[in-house]
């Protein structure tokens, strides 16, 4: 018997938040290489960055739509999903990790805490709230949320602050909570818990790489391919799973 490769996005429409970030852009490119029909690219960053990525993907034959969106705002998510039209899968990549403030001494740290929670945790809640009914009405869909090794074990750098760790632990719990409620409607909710990944977010963060099993941090593509897999028919029996993609830093 010859098995057909089911890691295939031919004809599918995929929505990405945090699309111009390192993991988001790599995921968009991975989806394009797997035959995706349409990519809806959402980000709160400069419009020029969204348009540049959209043009790159259009050159590959993908219908690409750029949409500015602050995921922490409920209405922005509603507008995004309305503009996207029918969506088969979505990857929630948007996230922030401020490092400058000191949680113990900075009098303004609590305000930063709320912003991190609004983007990293409330954002995926807003997106799921809009997408799950639409996907269920069409017979199903797939949602992938990007968590973090920090949500598993408290982080791998001493300067990463507790707001980020708590937000990503919350994302993991949200995945499990949503999966139980969405699976009966045909909507599969899963996640990825990356280790440190090369990006603007980690460029200035010291990591003890000599203590890591692979001796390095990961590359965006090493998260993008698992994300694309979770958007494909090959992941049709995944629900409530969180893939630990961290080079052996966390095993559990």
Q: Tell me the C-alpha distance between 218 and 220, whole Å.
A: 7
**Residue of 72, 168, 199, 207 with catalytic role:** 168
Task: Please say if 164 is a catalytic residue.
Answer: yes
Q: Tell me the C-alpha distance between 152 and 15, whole Å.
A: 26
Q: Tell me the C-alpha distance between 168 and 249, whole Å.
A: 17
Task: Please say if 33 is a catalytic residue.
Answer: no
At 26 the three-state DSSP class reads helix
Q: Tell me the C-alpha distance between 120 and 64, whole Å.
A: 24
At 114 the three-state DSSP class reads helix
Task: Please say if 38 is a catalytic residue.
Answer: no
**Residue of 13, 38, 54, 164 with catalytic role:** 164
Q: Tell me the C-alpha distance between 12 and 198, whole Å.
A: 28
**Residue of 13, 54, 72, 148 with catalytic role:** 148
Active-site annotation, residues:
148, 164, 168
């Amino acid at each position: 018997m010859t098995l057909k490769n089911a890691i295939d996005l031919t004809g599918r429409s995929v929505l990405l938040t945090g699309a111009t970030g390192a993991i988001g852009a790599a995921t968009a490119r991975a989806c394009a290489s797997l035959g995706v029909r349409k990519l809806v690219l959402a980000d709160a960053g400069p419009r020029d960055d969204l348009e540049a990525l959209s043009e790159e993907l259009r050159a590959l034959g993908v219908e690409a739509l750029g949409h500015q969106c602050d995921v922490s705002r409920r209405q922005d998510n509603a507008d995004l999903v309305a503009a996207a039209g029918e969506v088969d899968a979505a990857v929630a990549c948007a996230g922030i990790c401020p490092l400058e403030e000191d949680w113990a001494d900075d009098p303004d740290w609590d305000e930063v805490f709320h912003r991190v929670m609004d983007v990293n945790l409330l954002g995926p809640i807003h997106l799921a709230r809009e997408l799950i009914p639409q996907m269920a009405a069409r017979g199903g869909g797939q949602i992938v949320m990007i968590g973090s090794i920090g949500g598993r074990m408290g982080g791998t750098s001493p300067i990463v602050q507790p707001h980020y760790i708590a937000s990503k632990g919350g994302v993991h719990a949200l995945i499990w909570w949503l999966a139980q409620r969405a699976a009966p409607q045909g909507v599969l909710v899963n996640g990825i818990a990356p280790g440190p990944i090369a990006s603007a977010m980690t460029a200035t963060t010291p990591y003890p790489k000599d203590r890591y099993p692979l001796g390095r941090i990961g590359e965006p593509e090493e998260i993008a391919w698992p994300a694309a897999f979770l958007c494909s028919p090959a992941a049709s029996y995944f629900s409530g799973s969180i893939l630990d993609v961290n080079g052996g830093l966390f095993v559990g």
